[in-house]
Structure formats: structure tokens, C-alpha cells
Amino acid sequence: MSVTTEHVPVLVEKVVSLLRPCLGVGTVIDATAGGGGHLWALAQEMQKLIPVGKQRCRLIGIDIDATALRFAQSRLSDFGCTFIREMAGVSSPVGCNQLSMILLIQANYVNMAEVVERLGISPVSGVLMDLGLSSYQLRPERGFSFEADGPLDMRFDQQSSKPTAREILQEASINDLYSWFRVYADEPMAGRISRQIYAARKDIRTTGDLVKVVEKVIPPRRLKKTLARIFQALRIVVNNEIENLRLGLKAAIRLLMPGGRLVVICYQSGEDRCFKEMYREHRGELLLLTRKPLYPDADEVFANPRARSARLRAVEKTEVAQDKRNNNYVWRRE
């Protein structure tokens, strides 16, 4: 992971082609808008498909990180883009027709249903979740990167009062550390690293301090990969990512109209397991659009090494399931 401010969206053509049938039918939500890379491609596609003037407020970008959304806002300015900072300040429903084609809103995707209700933007015909970290978040002051020294923060939402990575490390037991490194990072040296971090925890204030502690027990040739795994595991814990993902996937499935699609890009096995669990639970009402996950090809990985661990899965909500519940459905493929 290099310290860069450019975020290149992953598997962008596949995302657009899977969500193309949803554009213009209802609202499409990018639940992890980040720097707006996927939203930009979806907005471009929508311009081709839908007559000018009928495109209003059909794309919603949600992100928990207000800083990432500021990058998205400037990237998307050509399409007309409104940034709503605080969902609490939205009087419901916003007169969406008065607003621009893209709305960005700072929120946890767990609360997707509340966003939709407050904005008055149903039905929802597509949801995208591109998990993990945006390159914009790799700035040293955010504490996600082991390649530059900075405060050990790692919160996606820096305005929240939730504990930082440093505070979490201070309180963690050896067993906590061990299970985080095993479960969230498949770290083979989890035992040795946990003991070392536990012993030094009071002195770990910055990303550089944590790197120095790990360096003591890991040989140089394995250091970079190990640090990437340790930082990933801590980030997942700090942001409660796995529980959020479970709730976010459920919220997305519940919100989708019949025929609506959910596209998820995972970067590690824990995230992928959540998707599979969700699919098993909702099997009767979902059609799997990707029997095998889709991976980036060699050219994409060469151009954007961050894409190497990406795998994409997608489902469509079937009409039958909705029909059983509501006896009424609205989806028509155009």
C-alpha cells in the first residue's frame, strides 16, 4: 500500500455493466462512494441512457467519511452534485426534483434505509458496495498507512467519538489481539506479534511506533506483507467493519425493488464470508448473477495493484419474492 491520494476505482466496467439495467429505473445507491470513482462512471453511463432533464437525483453516494466525499464532490461537479453533510439536518423528504443528478450524503451504510426515507428517493433499483479503504484515506494523518508516521487513529469517521486504534490497542488483551490478527488478517505469526504488541502497548502512540514493535519479531523480507495484514485487522476492528457489513447487506436487500441489483466488491475473506452468509439466508429471494466471483484481469492489476485482491459478486432480487409479500411489483426492464 503506497501513500497516494489518487483512488482508481476497481472493476469499473463490470460494475457499470451489472448496474446498467438499474439506471433510470429507480435510485442507484453507491453505499461506499469514497472518492466517487464508480459514481463518476455510473453518472457517465446514465447520461448516455436517460434524456437530459430526467436524470435528477437518480444516483446517491453514501460514505461514512466526510473527507472522502469532498474528493467525490469535486470529481463529480460536472454532473451536478449536492453534498449533504448531516443526515440529521435533512427535513424529510428533500424535494429531490429540485436537486442535482447526484446526491452525496455522509452516513453509515447500515442506515441506508433511513437515508432513503429521509430523502424520499424510493424505489431503489441498485446498490453498490466497494469495501475496504480508499486511497484518499492513506494520508499519514489518518493512521491507516504503515508507510508514513502519523497518529494511530484509523477511524473512517474522524468526527465520531468512537475509540481510535491507539485507544483500542491500550485496552486489548493478548487474546483479543491474537484473534483479530488470525480472523481478520489470516496472520500466521499472530501469536508472536500479539505478545510483542501487548507488552509494548502503553508506548504505542503512532503508526511508526507500531511498525517498530512488529519489526522486532518479523524478518525484513516478510515485514511489508505482515504490516499490511496487521494494519488491515486493526482497521476492521476500529470501524466494526464486519458487523457493519452484515447489517449493510441486509439493509440493501430489504431496500431493493424486485429486479434490483446488489453488487459487492470484497478484498478479504471475512468480507466475502459475509456476502455468502447473506446469500444463503436470502437464497429464496435472490438470483445469483455471478456464479463464480469476478476478478480483475492482469492488465488492471498491473495498472492498479490495489485491485489484486478484489473479487466481485452480484445478486438480483427476484420478482417472485416481492410478489409473495406485496402482491404488487413495479420493475420493468427497459
Residue 126 makes contact with ligand SAM by CB under 6 A: no
CA dist 191 and 183 (Å) reads: 12
Residue 68 makes contact with ligand SAM by CB under 6 A: yes
Beta carbon of residue 215, minimum distance to ligand SAM (angstroms, whole number): 28
Span near ligand SAM by CB under 6 A; candidates 132-140, 145-153, 191-199, 322-330: 132-140
Residue 9 makes contact with ligand SAM by CB under 6 A: yes
Q: Is 106 annotated as a binding residue?
A: no
Residue 29 bridge partners (DSSP):
60, 127
CA dist 169 and 98 (Å) reads: 47
Smallest Cα–Cα separation from 142: which of 85, 78, 64, 194?
64
Cβ proximity of 197 and 213 under 8 Å: yes
Q: Is 30 annotated as a binding residue?
A: no
Residue 258 makes contact with ligand SAM by CB under 6 A: no
3-class secondary structure, 59: strand
* Closer by beta carbon to ligand SAM, 26 or else 35: 35
CA dist 67 and 188 (Å) reads: 34
Residue 235 makes contact with ligand SAM by CB under 6 A: no
Where in 14-33 is the site for ligand SAM (CB under 6 A)? 32
Residue 37 makes contact with ligand SAM by CB under 6 A: yes
Residue 232 makes contact with ligand SAM by CB under 6 A: no
* Closer by beta carbon to ligand SAM, 258 or else 296: 296
Q: How far is CA 97 from CA 30, 65, 78, 119, 307, in A?
A: 19, 26, 18, 11, 36
Please count the residues of this chain forming the interface with ligand SAM, following the rule CB under 6 A: 23
CA dist 273 and 36 (Å) reads: 26
Residue 296 makes contact with ligand SAM by CB under 6 A: no
Cβ proximity of 120 and 99 under 8 Å: no
Cell of 312: 466481485
Binding-site sequence positions for S-adenosyl-L-methionine: 36-38, 63, 109, 130, 137
Could you list the residues that contact ligand SAM (CB under 6 A)? 7, 9, 32, 34-38, 62-65, 68, 108-110, 130, 132-134, 156, 239, 244
